[in-house]
Amino acid sequence: MKPSKTLKVATVGTGYFSRFQYSAWARIPEVEMVAICNRSIEPALELANKYQIKSIYQDFDQMLDEAKPDLVDIITPPVTHQSYVKSCVVRGIPAVCQKPFTPSVAEATDLVALIKEKKAKVIIHENFRFQPWHLKIKELLAQNILGELYQISYALRPGDGQGPDAYMERQPYFQQMDRLLVHETAVHLIDVFRFLFGNMKSIYADLRRLNPVIKGEDAGIIIFNFLNGSRGIFDGNRLSDHKAKNRRLTMGEMRIEGAKGTLFLNGDAEISLRKHDSNEEEKILYSWDDCDFGGDCVFNLQRHVVDHLLYDKEVMNTASDYLLNVQVAEAAYQSNDQGRCLNLIDR
């Protein structure tokens, strides 16, 4: 049955991760992909044929003016985001923008100011909070299953950063990024930590480069103090791995401690609860789809955006809210450079 409401979606970008976005849009009944834009025609043509996208463009502004989409999905590198988002904003077209939002805090701040001025809708494609295990943990915390929260800890251990061929199979540009661990990866967990524990008031970071073939940092420890009085620890090392059938599923392990007990997320997305003063662990049962990336979190995010635009449901990850993640990530680099804890309240 044809849905009563439809959303015409145009896309730009055909890189490695875009396959998950195209697959997800194709599975949402209310969405019709009407146009695709890319500098190179061949990959765009391949996707257009696969998903029955009728119009192919090499000029982004031309696509917006001719296809007249209801929503644009920007799936390109950060250096292009400011220009593409501006083009959507001035035309009043809602957009989903891939993270990292922009290469710098200054650019992100300017862009958010324009978005607010034009009363535009821009949502950042930050999908980790939409991973089913994080959604389940959010639900459990809302039930006060842990009582007063003490600490959230996450150990990032994808194991893909060793040797001269590190990252070359999937995302070779990682090797040339001046900033890697925080700018590209830890920002996901900054968002997850805020999603689960609220905003942060201070940060301390100690970052390192372990693999000499890359330009940026690939290991580090970041300590957050939250406004609610609890603490967060991000312990990242892209060279080390963790126990998991698929080490890219959760990309690490999480532990959340509270007065009533401790929640643990392992590499196979299993959640367990050990109550305070007990040695027994109880497995928390929940359902999720082992589809595409991260428990089908890309679909979950895009479904969330469609529900907002068509059914006026509340939306997360707006550009103005995501600006806080960009500011926290920048503060991590400043803390590392200065060797001290930095206050986040006035940022």
Q: What is the pLDDT of residues 128-183, one digit of tens each?
A: 999 999 999 999 999 999 999 999 999 999 999 999 999 998 889 899 999 999 99
Residues 134 and 117 in one domain: no
Residue 167 covered by a domain: yes
Residues 166 and 240 in one domain: yes
Residues 279 and 164 in one domain: yes
Query: Can you list the positions of beta strands (E) in the chain?
Result: 7-12, 31-37, 55-57, 71-74, 95-98, 122-125, 149-156, 200-208, 219-226, 231-237, 252-258, 261-265, 271-275, 281-284, 342-343
Residues 209 and 115 in one domain: no
The domain tally of the chain equals 2
Among all chains, which residue has been given the structure tokens 């842990």? 146
d(CA 342, CA 327): 12
Q: Which domain holds residue 197?
A: 129-285+326-343
> Which CATH number do you get for residue 232?
3.30.360.10
Residues 176 and 160 in one domain: yes
Residues 95 and 138 in one domain: no
> Which CATH number do you get for residue 19?
3.40.50.720
Residues 217 and 154 in one domain: yes
Amino acid in the structure at residue 235: D
pTM score of the predicted model: 0.94
Residues 168 and 71 in one domain: no
pLDDT band at 1 (very low <50, low <70, confident <90, very high): low
Residue 40 covered by a domain: yes
Residues 110 and 142 in one domain: no
Per-residue pLDDT tens for 309-340? 999 999 999 999 999 999 999 999 999 999 99
